[in-house]
Protein backbone atom coordinates (compact mmCIF):
# COMPACT_ATOMS: atom_id res chain seq x y z
CA UNK A 1 0.00 0.00 0.00
CA UNK A 2 1.30 3.42 -0.94
CA UNK A 3 2.70 5.56 1.89
CA UNK A 4 0.11 8.07 3.07
CA UNK A 5 -2.81 5.89 1.93
CA UNK A 6 -5.15 4.81 4.72
CA UNK A 7 -8.33 2.97 3.66
CA UNK A 8 -11.36 4.51 5.35
CA UNK A 9 -9.03 7.41 6.36
CA UNK A 10 -8.22 5.38 9.49
CA UNK A 11 -5.84 7.33 11.73
CA UNK A 12 -5.70 10.29 9.32
CA UNK A 13 -5.93 13.74 10.91
CA UNK A 14 -8.40 15.42 8.53
CA UNK A 15 -8.82 18.75 10.32
CA UNK A 16 -8.75 20.62 13.62
CA UNK A 17 -11.58 20.93 16.11
CA UNK A 18 -12.20 22.47 19.50
CA UNK A 19 -15.60 20.79 19.89
CA UNK A 20 -14.84 17.36 21.35
CA UNK A 21 -12.23 14.71 22.10
CA UNK A 22 -12.91 11.03 21.42
CA UNK A 23 -10.74 8.37 23.07
CA UNK A 24 -7.81 10.75 23.60
CA UNK A 25 -5.33 9.67 26.26
CA UNK A 26 -6.04 11.45 29.55
CA UNK A 27 -9.20 13.07 28.16
CA UNK A 28 -11.59 10.37 26.95
CA UNK A 29 -14.86 11.69 25.54
CA UNK A 30 -15.32 15.38 26.26
CA UNK A 31 -17.56 18.09 24.78
CA UNK A 32 -15.69 21.40 24.86
CA UNK A 33 -13.65 20.07 27.77
CA UNK A 34 -16.52 18.68 29.88
CA UNK A 35 -16.54 14.91 30.45
CA UNK A 36 -19.43 12.94 29.02
CA UNK A 37 -20.05 11.35 32.44
CA UNK A 38 -20.54 14.77 34.08
CA UNK A 39 -22.78 16.03 31.28
CA UNK A 40 -24.95 12.89 31.29
CA UNK A 41 -25.31 13.10 35.06
CA UNK A 42 -25.95 16.80 35.58
CA UNK A 43 -26.95 18.52 32.34
CA UNK A 44 -30.05 18.50 30.15
CA UNK A 45 -29.83 18.09 26.38
CA UNK A 46 -30.58 21.77 25.63
CA UNK A 47 -27.68 22.81 27.88
CA UNK A 48 -25.41 20.48 25.91
CA UNK A 49 -26.74 21.76 22.57
CA UNK A 50 -25.99 25.32 23.70
CA UNK A 51 -22.52 24.23 24.81
CA UNK A 52 -21.77 22.60 21.47
CA UNK A 53 -23.34 25.14 19.13
CA UNK A 54 -22.60 28.39 20.98
CA UNK A 55 -19.36 27.22 22.60
CA UNK A 56 -20.18 27.55 26.32
CA UNK A 57 -22.61 26.37 28.98
CA UNK A 58 -25.57 28.73 29.40
CA UNK A 59 -26.37 30.31 32.77
CA UNK A 60 -29.86 29.76 34.21
CA UNK A 61 -31.49 32.70 32.39
CA UNK A 62 -29.80 31.85 29.11
CA UNK A 63 -30.95 28.24 29.39
CA UNK A 64 -34.55 29.29 30.02
CA UNK A 65 -34.41 31.63 27.02
CA UNK A 66 -32.76 28.95 24.87
CA UNK A 67 -35.40 26.36 25.73
CA UNK A 68 -38.11 28.89 24.95
CA UNK A 69 -36.48 29.73 21.62
CA UNK A 70 -36.46 26.02 20.70
CA UNK A 71 -40.08 25.62 21.85
CA UNK A 72 -41.08 28.56 19.61
CA UNK A 73 -39.45 26.91 16.58
CA UNK A 74 -41.43 23.63 16.73
CA UNK A 75 -44.17 24.53 14.25
CA UNK A 76 -43.92 23.42 10.61
CA UNK A 77 -44.63 25.58 7.54
CA UNK A 78 -47.71 24.52 5.57
CA UNK A 79 -45.60 23.74 2.47
CA UNK A 80 -43.51 21.27 4.47
CA UNK A 81 -46.60 19.58 5.92
CA UNK A 82 -47.96 19.06 2.44
CA UNK A 83 -44.66 17.47 1.31
CA UNK A 84 -44.69 15.16 4.35
CA UNK A 85 -48.25 14.13 3.51
CA UNK A 86 -47.17 13.14 0.01
CA UNK A 87 -44.38 10.81 1.18
CA UNK A 88 -45.43 7.15 1.20
CA UNK A 89 -46.67 5.66 4.50
CA UNK A 90 -44.06 2.91 4.07
CA UNK A 91 -41.10 5.33 3.87
CA UNK A 92 -38.28 4.75 6.31
CA UNK A 93 -38.38 7.53 8.94
CA UNK A 94 -34.78 8.45 8.03
CA UNK A 95 -35.95 9.16 4.47
CA UNK A 96 -38.68 11.35 5.95
CA UNK A 97 -36.17 13.37 7.97
CA UNK A 98 -33.73 13.66 5.07
CA UNK A 99 -36.51 14.92 2.80
CA UNK A 100 -37.95 17.19 5.51
CA UNK A 101 -34.55 18.74 6.14
CA UNK A 102 -33.92 19.37 2.46
CA UNK A 103 -37.43 20.77 1.93
CA UNK A 104 -37.09 23.15 4.89
CA UNK A 105 -33.92 24.48 3.26
CA UNK A 106 -35.97 25.34 0.16
CA UNK A 107 -38.93 26.81 2.08
CA UNK A 108 -36.86 28.81 4.60
CA UNK A 109 -33.49 29.26 2.84
CA UNK A 110 -30.54 29.97 5.08
CA UNK A 111 -29.84 33.28 3.33
CA UNK A 112 -33.11 34.59 4.85
CA UNK A 113 -32.26 33.40 8.39
CA UNK A 114 -32.18 36.08 11.13
CA UNK A 115 -28.78 34.93 12.51
CA UNK A 116 -26.02 32.32 12.11
CA UNK A 117 -27.60 29.97 14.66
CA UNK A 118 -31.11 30.00 13.27
CA UNK A 119 -30.88 27.00 10.90
CA UNK A 120 -29.26 24.85 13.61
CA UNK A 121 -31.93 25.70 16.14
CA UNK A 122 -34.78 25.42 13.64
CA UNK A 123 -33.70 21.86 12.86
CA UNK A 124 -33.09 20.98 16.54
CA UNK A 125 -36.60 22.12 17.35
CA UNK A 126 -38.47 20.77 14.35
CA UNK A 127 -37.05 17.31 13.51
CA UNK A 128 -39.37 15.57 16.01
CA UNK A 129 -42.28 17.64 14.62
CA UNK A 130 -41.55 16.53 11.05
CA UNK A 131 -41.30 12.87 11.94
CA UNK A 132 -44.43 12.73 14.09
CA UNK A 133 -46.53 14.87 11.75
CA UNK A 134 -45.75 12.42 8.96
CA UNK A 135 -46.35 9.37 11.16
CA UNK A 136 -49.73 10.40 12.57
CA UNK A 137 -50.98 11.58 9.18
CA UNK A 138 -50.21 8.20 7.65
CA UNK A 139 -51.37 6.13 10.63
CA UNK A 140 -54.70 7.81 11.22
CA UNK A 141 -55.15 10.71 8.79
CA UNK A 142 -54.72 13.19 11.68
CA UNK A 143 -52.81 16.42 11.09
CA UNK A 144 -51.36 16.84 14.57
CA UNK A 145 -50.43 20.18 16.13
CA UNK A 146 -46.64 19.97 16.44
CA UNK A 147 -46.07 23.15 18.46
CA UNK A 148 -46.39 21.45 21.89
CA UNK A 149 -45.34 23.26 25.09
CA UNK A 150 -43.70 20.16 26.54
CA UNK A 151 -40.28 21.10 27.90
CA UNK A 152 -37.18 19.94 26.03
CA UNK A 153 -36.57 17.96 22.85
CA UNK A 154 -36.98 14.61 24.65
CA UNK A 155 -40.34 15.61 26.15
CA UNK A 156 -41.55 17.14 22.88
CA UNK A 157 -40.70 13.96 20.95
CA UNK A 158 -42.29 11.55 23.46
CA UNK A 159 -45.38 13.73 23.79
CA UNK A 160 -45.94 13.86 20.03
CA UNK A 161 -45.25 10.12 19.73
CA UNK A 162 -47.59 8.94 22.49
CA UNK A 163 -50.07 11.82 22.62
CA UNK A 164 -49.48 12.64 26.30
CA UNK A 165 -46.84 13.94 28.71
CA UNK A 166 -44.13 11.32 29.26
CA UNK A 167 -43.31 9.79 32.63
CA UNK A 168 -40.25 11.46 34.13
CA UNK A 169 -38.03 8.34 34.07
CA UNK A 170 -38.63 7.77 30.36
CA UNK A 171 -38.25 11.45 29.52
CA UNK A 172 -34.95 11.66 31.34
CA UNK A 173 -33.72 8.38 29.78
CA UNK A 174 -34.28 9.84 26.30
CA UNK A 175 -32.81 13.19 27.40
CA UNK A 176 -29.61 11.45 28.57
CA UNK A 177 -29.42 9.41 25.38
CA UNK A 178 -29.63 12.65 23.38
CA UNK A 179 -26.66 13.98 25.37
CA UNK A 180 -24.69 10.80 24.64
CA UNK A 181 -25.54 10.90 20.93
CA UNK A 182 -25.04 14.67 20.51
CA UNK A 183 -21.42 14.76 19.33
CA UNK A 184 -18.53 12.46 18.39
CA UNK A 185 -15.77 14.32 16.55
CA UNK A 186 -14.99 13.29 12.92
CA UNK A 187 -17.41 10.36 12.59
CA UNK A 188 -18.72 9.62 9.07
CA UNK A 189 -21.87 11.80 9.17
CA UNK A 190 -20.11 14.77 10.77
CA UNK A 191 -17.29 14.47 8.25
CA UNK A 192 -19.88 14.40 5.50
CA UNK A 193 -21.46 17.61 6.88
CA UNK A 194 -18.02 19.23 6.98
CA UNK A 195 -17.19 18.18 3.40
CA UNK A 196 -20.45 19.72 2.14
CA UNK A 197 -19.82 22.85 4.23
CA UNK A 198 -16.28 23.14 2.86
CA UNK A 199 -17.67 23.93 -0.60
CA UNK A 200 -19.43 26.94 1.00
CA UNK A 201 -22.77 25.23 0.52
CA UNK A 202 -25.67 26.06 2.84
CA UNK A 203 -26.52 24.67 6.29
CA UNK A 204 -29.51 22.59 5.18
CA UNK A 205 -27.47 20.89 2.44
CA UNK A 206 -24.79 19.97 4.96
CA UNK A 207 -27.38 18.57 7.40
CA UNK A 208 -29.07 16.64 4.58
CA UNK A 209 -25.72 15.05 3.59
CA UNK A 210 -25.16 14.10 7.21
CA UNK A 211 -28.57 12.44 7.60
CA UNK A 212 -27.96 10.36 4.47
CA UNK A 213 -24.61 9.27 5.86
CA UNK A 214 -25.93 8.46 9.32
CA UNK A 215 -28.60 6.17 7.92
CA UNK A 216 -26.33 3.18 7.16
CA UNK A 217 -26.13 0.20 9.54
CA UNK A 218 -22.37 0.65 10.04
CA UNK A 219 -23.12 4.08 11.55
CA UNK A 220 -26.41 5.33 13.05
CA UNK A 221 -28.53 2.49 11.68
CA UNK A 222 -26.77 0.07 14.05
CA UNK A 223 -29.20 0.75 16.93
CA UNK A 224 -32.15 -0.48 14.83
CA UNK A 225 -30.25 -3.58 13.73
CA UNK A 226 -29.24 -4.28 17.34
CA UNK A 227 -32.91 -4.22 18.37
CA UNK A 228 -33.89 -6.61 15.57
CA UNK A 229 -31.14 -8.94 16.72
CA UNK A 230 -32.09 -8.83 20.43
CA UNK A 231 -35.74 -9.43 19.52
CA UNK A 232 -34.87 -12.71 17.81
CA UNK A 233 -34.08 -14.44 21.10
CA UNK A 234 -36.57 -15.69 23.66
CA UNK A 235 -33.95 -16.49 26.34
CA UNK A 236 -30.39 -15.53 27.25
CA UNK A 237 -29.20 -19.07 26.40
CA UNK A 238 -30.75 -18.83 22.95
CA UNK A 239 -28.99 -15.50 22.49
CA UNK A 240 -25.60 -16.97 23.35
CA UNK A 241 -26.13 -19.86 20.94
CA UNK A 242 -27.42 -17.52 18.20
CA UNK A 243 -24.47 -15.14 18.51
CA UNK A 244 -21.98 -18.01 18.32
CA UNK A 245 -23.66 -19.18 15.12
CA UNK A 246 -23.69 -15.72 13.57
CA UNK A 247 -20.02 -15.24 14.38
CA UNK A 248 -19.22 -18.66 12.89
CA UNK A 249 -20.87 -17.42 9.68
CA UNK A 250 -18.58 -14.32 9.88
CA UNK A 251 -21.58 -12.02 10.38
CA UNK A 252 -21.11 -8.63 11.99
CA UNK A 253 -23.06 -8.03 15.18
CA UNK A 254 -24.49 -4.52 15.10
CA UNK A 255 -23.87 -2.42 18.18
CA UNK A 256 -20.36 -3.83 18.76
CA UNK A 257 -16.92 -2.57 17.78
CA UNK A 258 -15.72 0.91 17.04
CA UNK A 259 -13.14 2.55 14.81
CA UNK A 260 -11.68 4.62 17.64
CA UNK A 261 -12.58 2.81 20.89
CA UNK A 262 -10.78 -0.49 21.06
CA UNK A 263 -11.50 -1.22 24.74
CA UNK A 264 -14.61 0.55 25.90
CA UNK A 265 -17.09 3.09 24.58
CA UNK A 266 -17.51 5.39 27.62
CA UNK A 267 -21.12 6.08 26.62
CA UNK A 268 -22.09 2.41 26.79
CA UNK A 269 -22.13 1.88 30.61
CA UNK A 270 -24.19 5.06 31.00
CA UNK A 271 -26.94 3.97 28.61
CA UNK A 272 -26.69 0.39 29.93
CA UNK A 273 -27.54 1.66 33.41
CA UNK A 274 -30.59 3.48 32.00
CA UNK A 275 -31.64 0.35 30.14
CA UNK A 276 -31.44 -1.63 33.41
CA UNK A 277 -33.48 0.98 35.32
CA UNK A 278 -36.16 1.04 32.61
CA UNK A 279 -36.31 -2.77 32.56
CA UNK A 280 -36.76 -2.86 36.34
CA UNK A 281 -39.61 -0.34 36.45
CA UNK A 282 -41.28 -2.04 33.46
CA UNK A 283 -41.01 -5.43 35.21
CA UNK A 284 -39.54 -6.75 31.99
CA UNK A 285 -35.96 -7.94 32.40
CA UNK A 286 -35.91 -10.21 29.34
CA UNK A 287 -34.47 -7.74 26.82
CA UNK A 288 -31.90 -6.63 29.34
CA UNK A 289 -30.84 -10.20 30.20
CA UNK A 290 -30.61 -11.12 26.52
CA UNK A 291 -28.53 -7.99 25.88
CA UNK A 292 -26.19 -8.77 28.76
CA UNK A 293 -25.62 -12.29 27.46
CA UNK A 294 -24.90 -11.01 23.96
CA UNK A 295 -22.37 -8.62 25.50
CA UNK A 296 -20.67 -11.44 27.44
CA UNK A 297 -20.56 -13.67 24.37
CA UNK A 298 -19.09 -10.94 22.16
CA UNK A 299 -16.41 -10.26 24.74
CA UNK A 300 -15.40 -13.89 25.18
CA UNK A 301 -15.65 -14.83 21.48
CA UNK A 302 -14.30 -11.69 19.78
CA UNK A 303 -12.93 -9.42 22.51
CA UNK A 304 -15.40 -6.76 21.28
CA UNK A 305 -17.26 -4.29 23.49
CA UNK A 306 -20.69 -2.76 22.95
CA UNK A 307 -20.85 0.75 21.53
CA UNK A 308 -23.53 3.31 22.40
CA UNK A 309 -25.99 1.77 19.93
CA UNK A 310 -26.27 -1.57 21.68
CA UNK A 311 -27.92 -0.74 25.01
CA UNK A 312 -29.69 2.26 23.43
CA UNK A 313 -31.78 -0.31 21.58
CA UNK A 314 -33.36 -1.88 24.68
CA UNK A 315 -33.58 1.52 26.44
CA UNK A 316 -35.52 3.04 23.51
CA UNK A 317 -37.74 -0.02 23.22
CA UNK A 318 -38.64 0.27 26.90
CA UNK A 319 -39.51 3.94 26.34
CA UNK A 320 -42.10 2.80 23.77
CA UNK A 321 -40.15 4.07 20.76
CA UNK A 322 -40.74 2.04 17.57
CA UNK A 323 -37.53 0.44 16.26
CA UNK A 324 -37.57 2.31 12.94
CA UNK A 325 -37.43 5.57 14.91
CA UNK A 326 -34.17 4.74 16.70
CA UNK A 327 -31.90 6.28 14.05
CA UNK A 328 -34.13 9.38 13.77
CA UNK A 329 -33.68 9.91 17.54
CA UNK A 330 -29.94 9.85 16.83
CA UNK A 331 -30.59 12.66 14.30
CA UNK A 332 -32.53 14.71 16.91
CA UNK A 333 -29.36 14.59 19.04
CA UNK A 334 -26.54 14.70 16.50
CA UNK A 335 -27.88 17.80 14.76
CA UNK A 336 -26.30 19.60 17.75
CA UNK A 337 -22.86 18.21 16.93
CA UNK A 338 -23.29 18.59 13.16
CA UNK A 339 -24.28 22.22 13.68
CA UNK A 340 -21.23 22.93 15.82
CA UNK A 341 -19.01 21.37 13.14
CA UNK A 342 -20.69 23.26 10.28
CA UNK A 343 -20.10 26.55 12.14
CA UNK A 344 -16.52 25.57 12.99
CA UNK A 345 -15.76 24.45 9.41
CA UNK A 346 -16.93 27.82 8.12
CA UNK A 347 -14.63 29.61 10.54
CA UNK A 348 -11.47 27.81 9.36
CA UNK A 349 -12.48 26.60 5.95
CA UNK A 350 -10.41 24.85 3.32
CA UNK A 351 -12.25 22.79 0.72
CA UNK A 352 -11.83 19.01 1.18
CA UNK A 353 -10.22 17.56 -1.91
CA UNK A 354 -8.11 14.46 -1.26
CA UNK A 355 -6.52 12.38 -4.04
CA UNK A 356 -7.07 8.75 -5.05
CA UNK A 357 -4.71 5.86 -5.71
CA UNK A 358 -5.51 4.97 -9.35
CA UNK A 359 -6.19 1.26 -10.04
CA UNK A 360 -7.70 1.47 -13.57
CA UNK A 361 -6.32 0.66 -17.07
CA UNK A 362 -3.18 2.18 -18.52
CA UNK A 363 -3.69 4.98 -21.07
CA UNK A 364 -5.08 3.47 -24.32
CA UNK A 365 -6.34 4.48 -27.74
CA UNK A 366 -9.99 5.39 -28.15
CA UNK A 367 -11.87 2.75 -30.22
CA UNK A 368 -14.44 4.24 -32.67
CA UNK A 369 -18.02 2.95 -32.22
CA UNK A 370 -18.08 1.03 -35.52
CA UNK A 371 -14.93 -0.94 -34.57
CA UNK A 372 -16.23 -2.18 -31.18
Sign of the dihedral through C-alpha 112, 333, 331, 205: positive
**What share of residues in the chain are helix, strand, coil (percent, to 5)?**
60, 5, 35
Q: Tell me: does residue 177 bind ligand COA (CB under 6 A).
A: no
Question: Which residue number places its CB atom closest to ligand COA?
Answer: 257
219 Cβ contact partners less than 8 Å away, ≥ 6 residues apart? 187, 188, 189, 213
Q: Which long-range contacts (CB under 8 A, 24 or more apart) does 284-288 make?
A: 284/318, 287/230, 287/314, 287/317, 287/318, 288/314
The number of residues making up the chain comes to 372
Q: Which residues pair with 20 in a beta bridge?
A: 31
Q: Tell me: does residue 331 bind ligand COA (CB under 6 A).
A: no
113 Cβ contact partners less than 8 Å away, ≥ 6 residues apart? 119, 122
309 assigned to active site? yes
59 assigned to active site? no
Select 285 or 299, whichever has its Cβ closest to ligand COA: 299
Residues 344 and 339: their CA atoms lie apart, in Å, by 8
Instruction: Determine which one of 184, 258, 317, 341 is catalytic.
Output: 258
Beta carbon of residue 96, minimum distance to ligand COA (angstroms, whole number): 22
Are 253 and 247 in contact, with CB atoms under 8 Å apart? yes
Q: Tell me: does residue 255 bind ligand COA (CB under 6 A).
A: yes
Q: Tell me: does residue 185 bind ligand COA (CB under 6 A).
A: no
Q: Considering only residues 8-37, where is the footprint of ligand COA by CB under 6 A?
A: 8
Q: Tell me: does residue 301 bind ligand COA (CB under 6 A).
A: no
Q: Tell me: does residue 256 bind ligand COA (CB under 6 A).
A: yes
Select 134 or 305, whichever has its Cβ closest to ligand COA: 305
Interface residue with ligand COA, options 65, 106, 218, 348 (CB under 6 A): 218
Gap between the terminal Cα atoms of the chain: 35
Interface residue with ligand COA, options 154, 160, 173, 253 (CB under 6 A): 253
Cβ neighbourhood burial of 319 (10 Å; 0-12, 13-18, 19+): buried
138 assigned to active site? no
Q: Tell me: does residue 158 bind ligand COA (CB under 6 A).
A: no
Binding mask 189-208 for ligand COA (x = CB under 6 A): --------------------
- Residues carrying an active site annotation: 219, 258, 309
Query: Where on the chain is the footprint of ligand COA (CB under 6 A)?
Result: 8, 218-219, 222, 252-259, 302, 304, 307, 309
Amino acid sequence: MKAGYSPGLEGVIAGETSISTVGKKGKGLTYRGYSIADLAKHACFEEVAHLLIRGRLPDRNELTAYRQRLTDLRGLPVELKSILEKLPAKSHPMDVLRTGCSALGAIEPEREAPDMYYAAERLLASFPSMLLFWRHFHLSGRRIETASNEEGVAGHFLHLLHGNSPEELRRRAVDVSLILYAEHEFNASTFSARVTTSTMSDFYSAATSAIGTLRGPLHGGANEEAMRLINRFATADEAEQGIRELLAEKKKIMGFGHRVYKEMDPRSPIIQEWSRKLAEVSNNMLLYRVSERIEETMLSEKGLFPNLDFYSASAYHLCGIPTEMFTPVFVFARIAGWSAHIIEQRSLNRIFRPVAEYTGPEPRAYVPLEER
